[in-house]
Amino acid sequence: MFYHKKQLQYFTPPQRPDPVYAMKMQELVGGSFGEMTVMMQYLFQGWNCRGPAKYRDMLLDIGTEEIGHVEMLATMIAHLLDKAPIKAQEDGAKDPVVGAVMGGSNPRDVIMAAMNPQHAIVSGLGAMPADSVGFPWNGRFIVASGNLLADFRSNLHAESQGLMQAVRLYEMTDDPGVKDHLSFMIARDTMHQNQWLAAIEDLKSEGFEETVVPKIAYQYGKKEHSYQFWNNSEGEQSAEGRWAKGQSIDGKGEFEYVANPQPIGPEPNLPQPDPRLHGTMASPAMQQVSEAGANLIDGISQVVKGAGETIKRTITGEQ
Amino acid sequence: MFYHKKQLQYFTPPQRPDPVYAMKMQELVGGSFGEMTVMMQYLFQGWNCRGPAKYRDMLLDIGTEEIGHVEMLATMIAHLLDKAPIKAQEDGAKDPVVGAVMGGSNPRDVIMAAMNPQHAIVSGLGAMPADSVGFPWNGRFIVASGNLLADFRSNLHAESQGLMQAVRLYEMTDDPGVKDHLSFMIARDTMHQNQWLAAIEDLKSEGFEETVVPKIAYQYGKKEHSYQFWNNSEGEQSAEGRWAKGQSIDGKGEFEYVANPQPIGPEPNLPQPDPRLHGTMASPAMQQVSEAGANLIDGISQVVKGAGETIKRTITGEQ
Amino acid sequence: MFYHKKQLQYFTPPQRPDPVYAMKMQELVGGSFGEMTVMMQYLFQGWNCRGPAKYRDMLLDIGTEEIGHVEMLATMIAHLLDKAPIKAQEDGAKDPVVGAVMGGSNPRDVIMAAMNPQHAIVSGLGAMPADSVGFPWNGRFIVASGNLLADFRSNLHAESQGLMQAVRLYEMTDDPGVKDHLSFMIARDTMHQNQWLAAIEDLKSEGFEETVVPKIAYQYGKKEHSYQFWNNSEGEQSAEGRWAKGQSIDGKGEFEYVANPQPIGPEPNLPQPDPRLHGTMASPAMQQVSEAGANLIDGISQVVKGAGETIKRTITGEQ
Amino acid sequence: MFYHKKQLQYFTPPQRPDPVYAMKMQELVGGSFGEMTVMMQYLFQGWNCRGPAKYRDMLLDIGTEEIGHVEMLATMIAHLLDKAPIKAQEDGAKDPVVGAVMGGSNPRDVIMAAMNPQHAIVSGLGAMPADSVGFPWNGRFIVASGNLLADFRSNLHAESQGLMQAVRLYEMTDDPGVKDHLSFMIARDTMHQNQWLAAIEDLKSEGFEETVVPKIAYQYGKKEHSYQFWNNSEGEQSAEGRWAKGQSIDGKGEFEYVANPQPIGPEPNLPQPDPRLHGTMASPAMQQVSEAGANLIDGISQVVKGAGETIKRTITGEQ
Amino acid sequence: MFYHKKQLQYFTPPQRPDPVYAMKMQELVGGSFGEMTVMMQYLFQGWNCRGPAKYRDMLLDIGTEEIGHVEMLATMIAHLLDKAPIKAQEDGAKDPVVGAVMGGSNPRDVIMAAMNPQHAIVSGLGAMPADSVGFPWNGRFIVASGNLLADFRSNLHAESQGLMQAVRLYEMTDDPGVKDHLSFMIARDTMHQNQWLAAIEDLKSEGFEETVVPKIAYQYGKKEHSYQFWNNSEGEQSAEGRWAKGQSIDGKGEFEYVANPQPIGPEPNLPQPDPRLHGTMASPAMQQVSEAGANLIDGISQVVKGAGETIKRTITGEQ
Amino acid sequence: MFYHKKQLQYFTPPQRPDPVYAMKMQELVGGSFGEMTVMMQYLFQGWNCRGPAKYRDMLLDIGTEEIGHVEMLATMIAHLLDKAPIKAQEDGAKDPVVGAVMGGSNPRDVIMAAMNPQHAIVSGLGAMPADSVGFPWNGRFIVASGNLLADFRSNLHAESQGLMQAVRLYEMTDDPGVKDHLSFMIARDTMHQNQWLAAIEDLKSEGFEETVVPKIAYQYGKKEHSYQFWNNSEGEQSAEGRWAKGQSIDGKGEFEYVANPQPIGPEPNLPQPDPRLHGTMASPAMQQVSEAGANLIDGISQVVKGAGETIKRTITGEQ
């Protein structure tokens, strides 16, 4: 169960509104790696967690913190949208020199043309659950697989991309309020990047495995292909990396570089389709014979089914 | 530029068709962590790569291999769909005892009801670019950010989830053909899990950074919050993990456990909205005054704009 | 069955093209609360209606009218897109003073950069079934539940949001043609807001219920929680509203304000997962034992199944 | 900022697992009218609220409560998925009579075929942010417009549909645990239906308006069409409703029934398209002339633009 | 403007309900090639049409007919959903022998498990704007490009796929009512396939072009590659087709078979990224120098911008 | 299995970066008719092909070529994004006159405001699998039906729309590098338009049918409606086309123009809903009686089911 405090975890208002920047900042709210993603991902992982209590508790701690991050960003976006231009050329009048020269491209008009139109029409100058091009957040952005190592790696990836996006947005503005606000979020993302690295280490020190399902993968997988690098692209620069030689990271094999990979499988040889689906067969003649046959079988099947139903009625005593 | 060889990288046909399993196997083709995802993710990362040649080459090697994995699975799905039941009760007639007792639920009917209906209606018994519930693959499943460390972590996460899904599907069948086929794919996923771990190590040994944008994040982020764990959820089991104490993984700070976290920010205090958007204001009176004012300003603005246009026409000589 | 008349229900051409405004107007065509939504929502509700004839007839009246509203807006958008700039800087040449000063940001270029690029590339200056950020209309925007009271409330909500959006767009333009056109649509939305309020009243006066499934909800719902307001957010301003005290609106209870709400349920205690799914268990030891057990059970199950099949063959006489 | 308590707001475990019902219950988690929708809708409305404090407080109270409802349902779904069948026919062996007769349709196999395959493959027997057909929740399911009356009506609609869906799911099970659990949720939905009706009443008693933007709609809308019912569908049963006669609900007009509605607008007459977009023109000849002209104008425009750039360089002193 | 008649264009009720078939039939309502697609595609093409009146008129004729097809199918689906099982095992009781033997898989339960759960929970046994796996119809399913030849080909493709799907569904049922109903729809699809073939012929006989933008494509395209077939896949069976030799269909060239195609372009050589985006550069050293430089330039730019603003204030007289 | 060569099939770098044009060019990568669509469509058709080898081979040739087209465009977009403006007003400083006059709308700022923000924030100046408004490519854009004639028509439609979009983009730029690059792609699209026309001809000359499933459609379809044109829209301009008179294109009938079409079907008459779904019935009284009855039947059903289970236990010997 959840509770809310009225104050924000952290907040510095922007020095001045900037509706175009508000549109960009939506990426941190509803983008693939925005705060809605990490919030939902950590909450669902926590709710579905069947592992040790400390992981579940930790997931719900951070998931709950992230709800507050969505709140902080939504508040920032509402401030940035304040006084957003609603109508073309409205301020040309107040700034006659610029207005006179510019016609339809005075500064406010440029801003109005470039902002997310839904910030005015749909949300009335509020944040939306969407990214910087207006595409809505959706549930396929998150994962909670039940396997904590796989999921902590997903969390590490999400925080890595998210941190980098926050840094990019930090570089895109000179507004000291926005910069201060983002510097708190960058700090938290820094913690969270470290947190998932630590959590992966912790799983190992607790005796859980270091790579995902290694014993099973080793048992089920064809061992001769489990540590081969296939060079499917011309040139051999890829032979220079750690992945091409030496012991595999899971310690169970040796990397091998396959410089000229060749197929092991046969040419595909698909069976002919059911004629009732009218797919194209290997020849027109085959198609005609097949379709005739299908009609015949269909007729016989009706007759026999009638017999079957008589038997059924006998058994069940049904009329 | 790309080339194709007719043979499959690897292939073992299923021992018998199984259209319900074909539906499930779609998860490995078009699911969030299916082969279309890794194929597209590695290709886009390779095409967008501005880093050292060996990484670009390696990304295109594996991206190209993955196209062949989609091909292998598509071929397997077409075989599994062979002889899929098209019409209810069609085989009741051939198996009269079962048909008589079962009425509308003979085995083939159960299968027909449970398979993905689009495998018959839309694709004519072929694979589709969709997941196991029929949701289509989409471009938001992938990322190529330009930062190789962030992207290799994304790749590691995708292969971890994907490997586990392949293992789960391996457990769900007894068909020796399918199991053999999957054992090749599990081997390749094992390699790819190792490969991204190795690639992350390689970046470090080349002199690139070990965590994502650490210097920048340290410079921009509020240091006092960069290594704190906030315990937003009641109970302190989360204090027991590696993330709660000791040196941070990036080596730049000490983890600190904040047991009773309190907000640092103020209560939000949003400015009143532009009256022309008809949002609800803090009081009905304010709303009425504002709307009247808006009409007034609008009128004045028209007058002044007229003046501005006169000036403009004078400057440009336009009539 | 449907028929079409060539004339539009209402139309005033715009005084001048405005491709940026055309992009915004798409919100009224294909947005969540655009005309495609109300058209499809009323038609599906009418087609699925099993209630009294007057409601079905009324739903099909208004659904049919709304097809014509999509038509009106599509026509308006095609006019607004007329003469849209296709190529950067093409008109700088005709307006040399502006062109000389502005370089890459002459008015037409700003417009071209800000318009929906698909209006040129994809639709060739025609309307599209999408909203103001280019996101396509989709079937999840509508509902037809079979319960007329629930659906009339959905209709009231859609017309309320839609009317407000039309008013916002009215404020965003000075073009007298567009304003006149929208003033007809605002009038119709005004009617439709009133219509759904009247329809809700009508359901009541006919003897249908005033709130959704009140008897059933009262019978099934835990009565002690059916009229409580839980104050999950710090501070008690929420105690001042009508919802916090007095008789409930359905007349079946008294509102109660729970100032310090506490959980009633237990801590969650999820069962351990099936080992074949490789989720993380409560301890590494448990996970190892479980996986071993699973392999064993699997083996036994194969043996017993073989026996089962022998019995089956005996019963059915199958070889 | 948000906090979490470990206990659930309410919870009764199911008497027995039921993975097919778990799939259906996803509608209440991630469907259009599920708990994710109301949670996100109330939180965004609260965060964006610029109206009186009591409304903002109340929105955050209920939004915060709803996070806990997602948690309750996610926990229930994890219990319902416990012991879900992973592999076909695995239990036929344990129940030889049924197994022998049924072949491929023993009870566990039917269940396995009918459950959401992603509950096994993707989430490892946990809840997902998706609806009962596996379609992911998305941000277009919610609205926060800034206008509280419009938004409270949206909330009323969401709770009405949601309450009815909860009742339908209540009817679909005999499990006493699930029924008890749902009876708490039905109680809360009953409260919330009443709450939004009360909140709408409250807005009125505070002096805010009773219908959405009535003064503006009356000022901008064409009055002669603001209270007309157009009978676009043959037959006049729709004349019998409250919407067809008497005073309009907003008290500003009289409903009027237009029995034989006729278009007021002209036939559309779209301008010819820009030839560079290669749309089809009114005649082939026109198309050819136009395209030739476009090439010509393009050439001239290049020449004049060169001149403009010379002027610009002179003004700015640029080389 | 549109009108509605109460009678359906055609209708035969099903002989018996069949909720699983109802789910499949949704493909014809809301699938990629369902009636919503052709309805919306023809209406938008008609509304956006700037070509000869007969094409516009024809498009609106058929678009209007298609609205009635959605209506026919929605009505059929409501009938097929009649008496759909709502609760597991409810009819086991009425059929005790089957119920006793079958446990959880009596016929009604199989049906209930296999039907679209939203047909019960969301729509209350009515049709939905979605396809046979529950994925919603969306606006990207249609196209209206302004070019009639391109669009008539799109229409031909949609009717070809749609007709085949209707035939497949016809094969999947034995219900004489459904078969009769579909035989009307198959007839109309047969007409529509012929209609678009005729319309393409008509464009040619009117003097419009036979292939899409041939003159432009010939003028702009590199002629030496305009009629080459590139054999990018090993083996030369593809040399046997009409596309590999002889005159091109547009009569403007000769097909040429390139048996061993080689790249014409260079290796890609992307420029180094802006350091402020923190993409990975070609070497760690380059990255460090670049980032330092970016900070410097940023500082200088601030200083110079200050100067620029002083100049601006001087010109505009602003304080 | 697939291979990659490092060189591009063709490439000319742009003369200068243009991030706004890069955004538009995304339509050719990830739009409905972009290269990802044709690549995936041809590969899936090839992989699913059960027809003659030459068609399968040809499909895989062209599908493989198209992977390289995505590569070419991705490379072009990365070049066009080079030096894209990241921060507002950064270049005002370097161009003080323009900067001083323009305030917030200097050329670079206009560009920055208009470009796709995700090109900076998400992809770090690389191409994305999305269209020109940022909507992601998805699997519903393609079809592979198993019927080659239907699919070749889909291919023809995709290449027709795609060719026209490439030509429109060619017209939108003056950059000689981009124009040269596009002229190669236009040449390939020209070939592919011709190729699908040739492939359709080839199917016919091989003895496959010329129209989709004509024999089946003729056998199943109601012949009297298979060649009628219904004039559902007022006016008879549509009588002037080839589709309204003369022999049908499939040679099996005569087109007939139905000038005043009337419905053939009855008024819909839906059955009353199951009371447990709480849909609105034809009268309030009926609803009350029904709900009471449902409760009664439910009770009886429980009793009888108990009896059934006793019988089952007797048969199976289960306790």
Q: What is the pLDDT of residues A240-285, one digit of tens each?
A: 999 999 999 999 999 999 999 999 999 999 988 888 888 998 888 8
Q: How many CA atoms lie within 13 A of B260 on its CB side?
A: 0
Q: Which residue type is seen at F247?
A: Q
Task: Report the mean per-residue pLDDT for chain D.
Answer: 87
Q: Determine, for residues A234 and F1 on separate chains, whether the beta-carbon distance falls below 8 Å.
A: no
Task: Report the mean per-residue pLDDT for chain F.
Answer: 87
Q: Among residues F237, D241, F206, which one has the least CA distance to residue C204? A: D241
More confident residue, F292 or E138: E138
Count the neighbouring beta carbons within 10 Å of the beta carbon of residue C311: 14
pLDDT over 50 at D224, yes or no: yes
Q: Among residues D224, D217, D212, which one has the least CA distance to residue D254? A: D224
Q: Is E75 on the interface with C (CB under 8 A)?
A: yes
With vertex at residue F153, the alpha carbon angle to CA F152 and CA F159, rounded to the nearest 5 degrees, is 85
Q: Is D167 on the interface with E (CB under 8 A)?
A: no
Q: Determine, for residues B52 and E168 on separate chains, whether the beta-carbon distance falls below 8 Å.
A: no
Q: Which residue type is seen at A92?
A: G
CB nearest to F171's CB, from D164, D276, D315:
D276
pLDDT over 90 at A48, yes or no: yes
C residues 98-157 closer than 8 Å to F (CB): 101-105, 109-110, 113-114, 116-118, 120-122, 124, 133-136, 145-149
E104, F294 contact by CB (below 8 A): no
Q: What is the pLDDT of residues D63-91, one digit of tens each?
A: 999 999 999 999 999 999 998 887 765 33
Nearest CA distance, F288 vs chain E (angstrom): 17
**DSSP-assigned letters across all residues of F204-273:** HHTT--SSSSHHHHHHHS-GGGTTEEE--BSSSGGGGSGGGSSB-TTSSSB-EEESS----S----PPPP
Would you place residue B291 in the very low, low, confident or very high pLDDT band (cuts 50, 70, 90)? confident
Please count the residue pairs, one from chain C and one from chain E, whose beta carbons lie less than 8 angstroms apart.
Answer: 144
pLDDT over 60 at C104, yes or no: no
Task: Find chains touching chain B: ≥3 CB pairs under 8 Å.
Answer: A, C, D, E, F
CB nearest to D278's CB, from F97, F98, F167:
F167
Q: Determine, for residues D132 and E114 on separate chains, whether the beta-carbon distance falls below 8 Å.
A: no
| Closest alpha carbon within chain C to F233 | C4
Q: What is the pLDDT of residues F202-225, one digit of tens each?
A: 999 999 989 998 888 888 999 999
Report the pLDDT value the prediction gives residue D8, as an integer from 0 to 100: 96
Q: Is B97 on the interface with E (CB under 8 A)?
A: no
More confident residue, E97 or D179: D179
Would you place residue A112 in the very low, low, confident or very high pLDDT band (cuts 50, 70, 90)? confident
Report the pLDDT value the prediction gives residue C105, as an integer from 0 to 100: 46
Q: How many CA atoms lie within 13 A of C290 on its CB side?
A: 16
Would you place residue B154 in the very low, low, confident or very high pLDDT band (cuts 50, 70, 90)? very high
Structure tokens at A226: 């489990």
Query: Exposure string (b/e) for C18-55, b if CB count within 10 Å is 16 or more?
Result: bbbbbbbbbbbbbbbbbbbbbbbbbbbbbbbbbbbebb
Distance CA(B127)–CA(B23), nearest Å, equals 9
Cα–Cα distances in Å, from E188 out to E6, E159, E194? 20, 10, 10
- Interface test with chain B among A10, A193, A298, by most B beta carbons within 10 Å: A193
Q: Is D234 on the interface with E (CB under 8 A)?
A: yes
Q: Is A273 on the interface with F (CB under 8 A)?
A: yes
pLDDT over 60 at D48, yes or no: yes
Distance CA(D117)–CA(D114), nearest Å, equals 8
Q: End-to-end CA distance of chain D, in Å?
A: 57
| Closest alpha carbon within chain E to F226 | E187
ipTM for the predicted complex comes to 0.88
Report the pLDDT value the prediction gives residue D309, as an integer from 0 to 100: 57
Q: What is the pLDDT of residues F98-135, one digit of tens each?
A: 333 333 445 566 677 788 999 999 999 999 999 999 99
More confident residue, A95 or B245: B245
Q: Determine, for residues F146 and B123 on separate chains, whether the beta-carbon distance falls below 8 Å.
A: yes
| Closest alpha carbon within chain C to A116 | C133
Would you place residue C113 in the very low, low, confident or very high pLDDT band (cuts 50, 70, 90)? confident
Would you place residue B24 in the very low, low, confident or very high pLDDT band (cuts 50, 70, 90)? very high
**DSSP-assigned letters across all residues of chain A:** -EEE-SS-SS----SS--HHHHHHHHHHHHSTTSHHHHHHHHHHHHHH--S-HHHHHHHHHHHHHHHHHHHHHHHHHHHHTTT---STTTTGGGSHHHHHHHGGG-HHHHHHHHS-HHHHHTTSS---SB-TTSPBPBGGG----S-HHHHHHHHHHHHHHHHHHHHHHHHT---HHHHHHHHHHHHHHHHHHHHHHHHHHHHHHTT--SSSSHHHHHHHS-GGGTTEEE--BSSSGGGGSGGGSSB-TTSSSB-EEESS----SPPP-PPPPPGGGT---SSHHHHHHHHHHHHHHHHHHHHHHHHHHHHHHHHH---
Nearest CA distance, A281 vs chain E (angstrom): 15
pLDDT over 80 at D194, yes or no: yes
Nearest CA distance, D249 vs chain B (angstrom): 21
Q: What is the pLDDT of residues A13-30, one digit of tens each?
A: 999 999 999 999 999 999
CB nearest to F278's CB, from D95, D164, D316:
D164
Q: Is E280 on the interface with B (CB under 8 A)?
A: yes
Would you place residue A113 in the very low, low, confident or very high pLDDT band (cuts 50, 70, 90)? confident
pLDDT over 70 at B8, yes or no: yes
Cα–Cα distances in Å, from C103 out to C113, D308, D309, D310, F95? 14, 9, 8, 11, 11
Nearest CA distance, F1 vs chain A (angstrom): 7
Q: What is the pLDDT of residues E242-282, one digit of tens each?
A: 999 999 999 999 999 999 999 999 999 998 888 888 899 88
Q: Determine, for residues C97 and B171 on separate chains, whether the beta-carbon distance falls below 8 Å.
A: no
Tell me the β-bridge partners of F233: C4
Identify the top-confidence range among A96-100, E177-181, F295-299.
Answer: E177-181
* % of chain B surpassing 70 pLDDT: 84
Radius of gyration, CA atoms only, chain D: 30
Would you place residue D101 in the very low, low, confident or very high pLDDT band (cuts 50, 70, 90)? very low
Q: Determine, for residues D168 and F98 on separate chains, whether the beta-carbon distance falls below 8 Å.
A: no
More confident residue, F297 or B211: B211
* % of chain F surpassing 90 pLDDT: 70
**In chain B, which residues have their Cβ closer than 8 Å to the Cβ of F140?**
136
Q: Which residue has the tokens 């990214």?
A: A131
**In chain A, which residues have their Cβ closer than 8 Å to the Cβ of B154?**
157, 160-161
Report the pLDDT value the prediction gives residue E99, as an integer from 0 to 100: 32
Q: Is D72 on the interface with C (CB under 8 A)?
A: yes
More confident residue, D228 or E102: D228
B78, B68 contact by CB (below 8 A): no
CB nearest to A167's CB, from B94, B149, B217:
B217
Cα–Cα distances in Å, from C307 out to C296, D95, D294? 17, 11, 82
Report the pLDDT value the prediction gives residue A6, as an integer from 0 to 100: 95
Nearest CA distance, D33 vs chain E (angstrom): 9
CB nearest to E226's CB, from F5, F187, F263:
F187
- Interface test with chain A among F45, F50, F123, by most A beta carbons within 10 Å: F50
